[in-house]
């Protein structure tokens, strides 16, 4: 399989830019997020892997979280302007996993998505390669990582939508109106227009349920991407969850299948 290099490159740059922006936006509240969190960090699970992913809540000295924040910002900014390297991405994944587990109350579904995507990005190529020179194991793990990231985005939408269907408020059409009345989210004016709130409610459900299917075909993919951009930007700004919306949007490029030429290999037909 010849991987679409431009799509991978845009994914890598987008994820690293999101990391830098997210951590930068957290600095004004660093006192309550990274230095003295309002709630204890998540307990470390059993097994030696927790020494890496839960270091901030186990053996790392106090104050290590803010050091990890600045270190990750430097690495992320480096990977925005320079080609990704697997060992740097590995360090980034370890640092961000620790930060998410340490300040779990400040995390969202977008943070979890980026943690998962960042892990599989370790195995993606950091530069354009000639498909004819790729060794068999390397081609397998790169192709597998590419598809796992693709499917991760679809699963995130599908699980979110199916979880909404298990309750009553989303099916009744009043979930968005209820959220709008929450002072931590808003906008309160939306709850004063029940018909509009109900329409937004069902539109969100329809979008999240159909996205995992629509992206498989180029004509519908473009329209669902456009709807997704509008959805995440509007909800992110109005409900104050812009970081989560942008986390989903930076993964969109992995589904772009423009024609690519790798080395002297034949051009890939556009999907």
- For residue 49, the number of C-alpha atoms closer than 13 Å in the C-beta half-sphere is 4
Phi-psi region at 85: left, alpha or beta (left = phi > 0; alpha = psi -120 to 50): beta
User: How does pLDDT run across 176-195, given as a tens digit for each residue?
Assistant: 989 888 777 778 888 889 89
Q: Please check the confidence at residue 269 and state whether its pLDDT lies above 70.
A: no
pLDDT over 90 for what percent of the chain?
64
CA distance 187 to 169: 18
Measured CA distances, 255 to 46, 135, 251 (Å): 35, 24, 8
Range in 7-21, 39-53, 128-142 with the lowest mean pLDDT: 128-142
> Sorting pLDDT into bands at 50, 70 and 90, what band is 47?
confident
Query: Which of 38-42, 65-69, 90-94 has the lowest average pLDDT?
Result: 38-42
To the nearest whole number, what is the mean pLDDT of the chain?
A: 89
What's the confidence (pLDDT) of residue 261?
A: 42
- Report pTM: 0.89
What pLDDT does residue 116 have? 97
Residues 6/127, Cβ–Cβ less than 8 Å: no
């Amino acid at each position: 399989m010849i991987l679409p290099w431009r799509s991978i490159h845009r994914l890598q740059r987008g994820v690293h830019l999101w990391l830098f922006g997210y951590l930068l936006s957290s600095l004004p509240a660093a006192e309550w997020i990274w230095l003295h969190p309002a709630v204890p960090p998540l307990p470390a699970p059993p097994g030696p892997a927790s020494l890496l992913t839960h270091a901030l809540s186990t053996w790392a000295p106090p104050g290590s979280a803010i050091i990890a924040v600045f270190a990750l910002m430097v690495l992320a900014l480096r990977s925005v302007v320079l080609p990704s390297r697997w060992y740097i991405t590995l360090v980034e994944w370890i640092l961000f996993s620790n930060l998410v587990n340490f300040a779990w109350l400040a995390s969202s579904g977008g943070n979890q998505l980026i943690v998962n995507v960042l892990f599989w990005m370790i195995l993606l190529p950091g530069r354009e390669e000639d498909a004819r020179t790729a060794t068999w194991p390397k081609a397998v793990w790169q192709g597998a990582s590419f598809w796992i990231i693709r499917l991760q985005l679809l699963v995130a939408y599908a699980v979110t939508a199916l979880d909404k269907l298990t309750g009553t408020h989303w099916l009744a059409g009043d979930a968005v109106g209820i959220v709008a009345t929450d002072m931590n989210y808003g906008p309160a004016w939306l709850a004063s227009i029940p018909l509009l709130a109900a329409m937004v409610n069902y539109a969100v459900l329809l979008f999240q349920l159909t996205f995992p299917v629509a992206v498989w075909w180029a004509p519908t993919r473009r329209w669902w991407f456009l709807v997704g951009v509008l959805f995440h930007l509007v909800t992110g700004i109005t409900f104050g969850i812009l970081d989560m919306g942008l986390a989903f949007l930076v993964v969109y490029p992995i589904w772009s299948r423009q024609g690519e030429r790798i080395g002297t290999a034949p051009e890939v037909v556009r999907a």
